[in-house]
Amino acid sequence: MPKKTAYTAKIEYLQILDENGKLDERLARGTLKDDEVIFLYEQMTISRHYDEIAFKLQRSGRMGTYPQNKGQEAGPAGAGYAIRQHNPEAWLVPCYRENLALFLNGLPMEKILLHWMGDERGNQIPDGVNILPISIPIGTHPLHAAGLAWAGKYRGEDRVAITFFGDGATSEGDVHEALNFASALKLPVIFFCQNNRWAISVPSSIQTGSETFAQKGLAYGMPCFQIDGNDIFASYKVVKDAINRAVKENQPTFIESLTYRLGDHTTADDARRYRDPEEVEAWVGRDPLIRTRKYLESKDLWSESKQKELEAKAKEVVDAVVKKAEGIDKPTTDDIFDYTFAELNGQLIEQKQTLRTSSLGTHPQQEGLQTHA
Ligand SMILES: Cc1ncc(C[n+]2csc(CCOP(=O)(O)OP(=O)(O)O)c2C)c(N)n1
Ligand SMILES: [Mg+2]
């Protein structure tokens, strides 16, 4: 019987700026210009400082919990910048480790602090900013991205949707439903999977039996790429090309961005309990900020004094953002109850009053309140 091949595929891997800051000039053609690299380096530095301050806010009791983005700035920087430049009307549908992509597309920086301070106003996105609130339920939001892309296609708009999610999220059924939906209906969606090697304490090596996460998209018939996620050039290029395919051919794209979570999973975690320090050390050497700075220095575009100026600016920007987030009146616990039901039943009234007293020991009946039978 003659042998037939039903299907073959390959996944391209893209790295343009290596970990020593050396640029592949040929691959870099048509990507980022010098002033854009400087801009993104500045933004990554500010974002890193924001991350450090957010961590301290949590440690000093001024914020609930926070997932650091540290080490993963380049993927969202390149992707977010490609969206801003080439499809500014796009929908961004995030998880929680791509702050910079959101900032680059108009999300006021205090919003993310407010979110993690437990203030719902952090999820109130200003009109005209096409960003969905951060999604904590893992892997649920790619479906929303597919839906938004479908709506855009239906209305004849050239608007893409890009969704960010982690390696762990690919084990969720919803992600696969979104991929299938996008592929079957030919939707302009970009699936940006940040493989940071860990899903809390589960290493990506046992998250899946596949050799790559990129190939997840192959089963859904879409172009798939794996990139060095600590390289702003690669991230920018792969998303720029994906936008073109999405707009011109209504093709979804799956991108696996290889990176590393340098911090703990969140401020509630201690990654030292499950990670080898040597692994972390190796990734410190691949830090996206260090390599971008090395590149700029190699072209005489950066100096120690510019670095100092930038650090002062980062401090100034983030200080102002913290002031803004902490400067508004705190939400009351009533908010938890006020927007779900038109009328509260007795049990909920009791809970609402109990919370107001800030004392579990004070029973509302003692305050003469009517409770349910
Ligand atoms: C539906 C759902 N299940 C479980 C969790 C608990 N949880 C929070 S983060 C996380 C791991 C996510 O890993 P990954 O998708 O790789 O993203 P990363 O945190 O590494 O950026 C889990 C299981 C959740 N938030 N939502
Ligand atoms: Mg992960």
- Is 13 marked active-site? no
Ligand 1 site, residue 199, Cβ cutoff 6 A:
yes
Nearest CA, atom 12, ligand 1: 199
Task: Please check the confidence at residue 181 and state whether its pLDDT lies above 50.
Answer: yes
Mean of the per-residue pLDDT values for the chain? 95
- Give the pLDDT score at 359: 57
Q: What are phi and psi of 349, to 5 degrees?
A: -60, -45
Decide which of 350 and 87 is more confident: 87
Ligand 2 centroid from CA 172, angstroms: 13
Catalytic residue, chosen from 48, 261, 286, 291, is: 261
Tell me the two tokens of residue 77.
């920087």
Catalytic residue, chosen from 59, 154, 272, 274, is: 274
Ligand 2 centroid from CA 156, angstroms: 35
Catalytic residue, chosen from 48, 197, 265, 286, is: 265
Distance between CA 329 and CA 341 in Å, rounded? Answer: 24
The pTM of the full predicted model, rounded to 2 decimals, is: 0.93
- Give the pLDDT score at 356: 85
Element (H, E) at 93: strand 91-93
Ligand 1 site, residue 198, Cβ cutoff 6 A:
yes
- Give the pLDDT score at 285: 96
Q: Which ligand 1 atom is nearest residue 172's CA?
A: 1
Mean pLDDT across 274-297: 98
Question: 344 in helix, strand or coil?
Answer: coil
What domains can you pick out in the chain, each with its CATH number?
12-327 (3.40.50.970), 335-367 (no CATH)
Nearest CA, atom 21, ligand 1: 166
Ligand 1 site, residue 166, Cβ cutoff 6 A:
yes
Ligand 1 site, residue 235, Cβ cutoff 6 A:
no
Mean pLDDT across 298-309: 98
- Give the pLDDT score at 358: 63
- Is 265 marked active-site? yes
- Give the pLDDT score at 371: 41
- Cα separation values, 1 from 6, 7, 14, Å: 14, 18, 39
Question: 199 in helix, strand or coil?
Answer: strand
Task: Please check the confidence at residue 368 and state whether its pLDDT lies above 80.
Answer: no
Ligand 1 centroid from CA 134, angstroms: 13
Tell me the two tokens of residue 194.
């940040």
Mean pLDDT across 204-222: 97
User: Which one of the ligands is nearest to 201 CA?
Assistant: 1
CA angle 251, 253, 256 (to 5 degrees): 175
Ligand 1 site, residue 167, Cβ cutoff 6 A:
yes
Query: In a mutational test of the pocket of ligand 1, which residue from 95, 134, 138 has the highest number of ligand atoms less than 8 Å from its CB?
Result: 138
Nearest CA, atom 25, ligand 1: 137
* 167: CB partners within 8 A, 6+ apart: 193, 194, 195, 196, 197, 198, 199, 204, 207, 208, 213
Nearest CA, atom 8, ligand 1: 138
Ligand 1 centroid from CA 138, angstroms: 5
Ligand 1 site, residue 229, Cβ cutoff 6 A:
no
Ligand 2 centroid from CA 322, angstroms: 27
Torsion, Cα 104 110 111 117, to 10 degrees, reads 140
Q: What is the pLDDT of residues 139-168, one digit of tens each?
A: 999 999 999 999 999 999 999 999 999 999
Ligand 1 site, residue 264, Cβ cutoff 6 A:
no
